[in-house]
């Protein structure tokens, strides 16, 4: 027997995917790419387009890849959402090309596996046969190819770009291929640091195709579900601006680094702090405290929304996050505890996130045989 919670989640995933694919412009498109990577960044609420200085910059702000000091860097992350029903995995690798440029490749998978397929549960005669239940997965994949370069004539300015290849798969029923670009820039002035990122700057296009059989279409029609059709979905651009400054105390043993990001979308009014018909802006705030550049404490706040409780009273809710990090020689292990906003009753889901980062200064590859 399958779990009711998983069946409910899957129904939402499939129905949302179908609804999105039938519109040329979807407000919430490729949202798995908005979740974020790196336990360090997620512990700070995702406020990190300025301070990110590792391989995760390929995701957050490709211009910051130039802040990576080692020749090579590897990062891995695993997270589970919705009480472990869905899995999120991330891996990235960066290499410094020369003193003025750095490149990286990142891979992301967000998926719900072992979903019961009950389309053939009841035959044409009305008989129930549990042996006809199979399973499938709803998965989202993304490959990010990033490149960053210094601007020699503009002191303190770095720029970068990320090409995204997106693959969404709805089990054996259909899926999509997508392609888009992100661009980023960073600027340092005295003790202040600034950054700007354009996500899906040209619009990210997802072409959906479906392979439903006639029998499956009949089940969809008989149960009142929409029969999906091939279509094109567009993810509209979003602009993220950020500012940060690092304060040092105790003879540089203690560092305090706050950061603020403003995430602006242009796909319609959203339930965020600043919402208009033309654009919506969501502020994100994070803080990192470091000791001896080895031990880190982090906290963040995002997803600030106004909601109405059961009594009809309006209230402002936020999604907090906390985390810690330990760096030892070439290894850094980070942990984050994140909270997905609770809705009307204030009850939400917490997720535990771990990520590992490895610095590789000298990587000796075997020479090809003559």
Lookup: tokens for 95? 């290499």
What is the dihedral angle through the alpha carbons of 46, 76, 208, 263, rounded to the nearest 10 degrees?
10
Q: Are 50 and 32 in contact (CB under 8 A)?
A: no
Dist. CA 286–CA 45, nearest whole Å: 6
Q: Is residue 123 part of a domain?
A: yes
Concatenated DSSP letters of 40-68: HHHHTTT--TTT--STTHHHH-GGGGGG-
Nearest one of 189, 281, 244 to 48, comparing CA atoms = 244
Q: Is residue 365 part of a domain?
A: no
Check residue 266 and report its DSSP letter: -
Nearest one of 117, 44, 111 to 84, comparing CA atoms = 111
- Total domains present in the chain: 1
Q: Is residue 367 part of a domain?
A: no
By DSSP bridging, strand 254-265 and strand 280-291 are antiparallel
Dist. CA 210–CA 230, nearest whole Å: 6
Dist. CA 334–CA 358, nearest whole Å: 12
Q: Are 41 and 60 in contact (CB under 8 A)?
A: yes
Q: Which residue has the tokens 């995760």?
A: 56
Per-residue pLDDT of the chain (370 residues; tens, 9 = 90+): 444 334 434 443 444 444 444 446 666 788 899 999 999 999 999 999 999 999 999 999 999 999 999 999 999 999 988 778 889 999 999 999 998 999 999 999 999 988 888 777 777 777 777 877 888 889 999 999 999 999 888 888 999 999 999 999 988 888 999 999 999 999 998 889 999 999 999 888 899 998 888 877 877 787 788 888 888 888 899 999 999 999 999 999 999 999 999 999 988 888 888 888 889 999 999 999 999 999 999 999 998 887 777 777 878 888 899 999 999 999 999 999 998 654 444 445 788 999 999 999 865 545 555 4
Q: Is residue 368 part of a domain?
A: no
Cα→Cα distances 59→54, 137, 304, Å: 10, 25, 23
Q: Is residue 144 part of a domain?
A: yes
Question: Using one digit for the tens of pLDDT, what is the confidence trace for 284-325?
Answer: 999 999 999 999 999 999 988 877 777 778 788 888 999 999
Question: Using one digit for the tens of pLDDT, what is the confidence trace for 29-82?
Answer: 888 999 999 999 999 999 999 999 999 999 999 999 999 999 999 999 999 887
For CA atoms 183, 176, 281, 323, the dihedral sign is: negative
Q: Is residue 239 part of a domain?
A: yes
Dist. CA 34–CA 28, nearest whole Å: 10
Check residue 7 and report its DSSP letter: H
Dist. CA 139–CA 141, nearest whole Å: 7
Q: Is residue 370 part of a domain?
A: no
Query: What is the residue range of 301's domain?
Result: 4-360
| CATH number, position 43 | 2.40.160.40
Q: Is residue 369 part of a domain?
A: no
3-state secondary structure of 150: strand
Residues 6+ apart with CB under 8 A from 365: none
* Total Cβ atoms within 10 A of residue 339: 17
* Total Cβ atoms within 10 A of residue 221: 11
Dist. CA 189–CA 196, nearest whole Å: 15
């Amino acid at each position: 027997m399958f779990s009711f919670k998983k069946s409910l989640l899957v129904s939402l995933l499939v129905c949302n995917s179908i609804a999105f694919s039938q519109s040329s412009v979807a407000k919430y498109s490729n949202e798995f790419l908005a979740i974020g990577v790196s336990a360090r960044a997620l512990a700070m609420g995702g406020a990190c387009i300025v301070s990110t200085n590792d391989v995760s910059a390929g995701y957050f702000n490709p211009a910051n890849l130039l802040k990576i000091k080692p020749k090579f860097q590897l990062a891995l992350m695993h997270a589970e959402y919705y009480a472990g029903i869905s899995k999120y995995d991330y891996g990235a690798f960066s290499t410094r090309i020369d003193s003025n440029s750095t490149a990286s490749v990142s891979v992301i998978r967000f998926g719900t596996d072992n979903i019961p397929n009950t389309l053939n549960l009841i035959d044409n005669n009305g008989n129930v046969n549990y042996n006809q239940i199979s399973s499938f997965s709803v998965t989202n994949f993304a490959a990010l190819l990033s490149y960053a370069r210094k601007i020699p004539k503009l002191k303190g300015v770095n720029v970068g770009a990320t090409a995204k290849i997106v693959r969404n798969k709805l089990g054996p029923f259909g899926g999509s291929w997508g392609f888009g670009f992100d661009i980023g820039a960073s600027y340092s002035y005295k003790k202040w640091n600034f950054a700007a990122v354009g996500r899906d700057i040209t619009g990210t296009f997802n072409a959906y195709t479906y392979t439903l059989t006639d029998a499956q279409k009949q089940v969809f029609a008989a149960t009142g579900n929409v029969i999906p059709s091939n279509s094109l979905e567009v993810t509209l651009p979003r602009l993220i601006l950020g500012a940060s400054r690092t304060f040092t105390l105790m003879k540089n043993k203690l560092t305090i680094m706050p950061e603020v990001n403003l995430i602006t979308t242009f796909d319609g009014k959203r339930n965020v702090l600043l919402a208009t018909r033309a654009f919506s802006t969501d502020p994100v705030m994070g803080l990192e405290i470091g000791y001896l550049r080895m031990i880190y404490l982090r906290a963040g706040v995002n997803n600030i929304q106004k909601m109405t409780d059961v009594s009809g009273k309006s209230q402002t809710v936020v999604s907090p996050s906390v985390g810690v990090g330990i760096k030892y020689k070439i290894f850094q292990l980070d942990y984050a505890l994140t909270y997905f906003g609770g809705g009307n009753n204030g009850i939400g889901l917490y997720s535990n996130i771990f990520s590992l980062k490895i610095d590789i200064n000298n990587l000796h590859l075997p020479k090809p045989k003559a």
